[in-house]
Amino acid sequence: MKPATCSTRRSIARQAALAGAVALMSAGGAAAQIPPDQVPEEMQGVEIVQRLDEMLPLDLTFTDHNGREVTLQSYFNQGKPVILTPIFYECPMLCSLILNGLVDGLNRVEGWTAGREFQIVTFSFDPGETAKLANLKRRAYFTQYRREVPEDGWPFLVGSEQSIAALTDAVGFHYRYDPKTDTYAHSASITIITPDGRISRYFNDVMFQPRDLRLALIEASEGRIGSPIEKFLLFTCFAYDPERGSYVASAWKVMRSSGIVTIVVIVLGVVWLVRRGPGPDREKKRTMLFGGLQS
């Protein structure tokens, strides 16, 4: 390997600084607060436009890490939600942070494995990258992910400029090539996709909490995965907060659920009293109860 020259070191430092700035903007939501005239030239046009519930073009063709030609559709025919991760494999910093954060979060999602309960599809938005490079990147992350993944459970893809542009546009993932550093400025983002190819949730960050990943996948699967308790908590207690980019307790859902539970308890109590029938003091108590409800 040739020693790094001064210009190379400056280029690497510039790439790292740019990636770090984009990471902070993605994670903290600062991009929306920066006036347009103060956005650095390298970051202009770099953004995530959320297109919830829109369909992905599943007929797009890519090449997987083994050099096989595949379509997106092949990863959406198993009834499983999909985590879509746009990166480029020679990214100097930010893409590694995204994948490291994703693997760390998934390692803490107990009992679930990519390729079984859900799919992951990682693709490069650099049309110059090759399947060999994708394979090397995949092997590196498979040493960190503590699960036995089926062959098609987590593909690393490369594609043509046309396929990449169509997919990134559909997801709302906008990036910018910087010829000064020969790299890309982009946001930190992963997207949760439903089994039929609709966009369900965005996580614009480099750290992913296991609870958020689990709830997002349950929600995207429309309850087809997850335990009964997790489904109950999702649909009665938790809601996705787009400002925080995570799932939080919803006061409205909690109050609504509490009201429903209260009504059910009252109805069951009335039914129990009615079924007991008349008896000493029971008729009087039943009259008092019904009289109170009618008043």
Report the chain (295 residues): mean pLDDT per 10 consecutive residues. 33 51 49 56 82 96 97 90 97 93 96 95 97 97 94 95 98 92 91 96 93 92 59 56 61 43 50 58 56 51
* pLDDT confidence of residue 222: 80
Q: Is 49 helix (H, G, I), strand (E, B) or coil?
A: coil
Beta carbons within 8 Å of 18's beta carbon, 6+ residues apart: 40, 42, 43, 178, 181, 183, 185
* pLDDT confidence of residue 57: 97
Pull the structure tokens for residue 148: 């036995």
Is the distance from CB of 46 to CB of 22 less than 8 angstroms?
Answer: yes
* pLDDT confidence of residue 181: 82
- Is 0.75 topped by the overall pTM? no
**All domains of the chain in start order, with CATH:** 12-227 (3.40.30.10), 251-294 (no CATH)
Is the distance from CB of 155 to CB of 83 less than 8 angstroms?
Answer: no
Place of tokens 């400029």: 161
Pull the structure tokens for residue 203: 């996580």
Is the distance from CB of 147 to CB of 113 less than 8 angstroms?
Answer: yes
* pLDDT confidence of residue 233: 54
d(CA 225, CA 156): 24
Q: Is 158 helix (H, G, I), strand (E, B) or coil?
A: strand
d(CA 76, CA 21): 34
* pLDDT confidence of residue 45: 82
Is the distance from CB of 215 to CB of 201 less than 8 angstroms?
Answer: no
Place of tokens 């689990």: 214
* pLDDT confidence of residue 244: 62
* 278 CB-contact burial (10 Å; exposed 0-12 / middle 13-18 / buried 19+): exposed
> What is the pairing mode between strands 176-178 and 183-185?
antiparallel
Beta carbons within 8 Å of 237's beta carbon, 6+ residues apart: 249, 250, 253, 254, 257
* pLDDT confidence of residue 151: 86
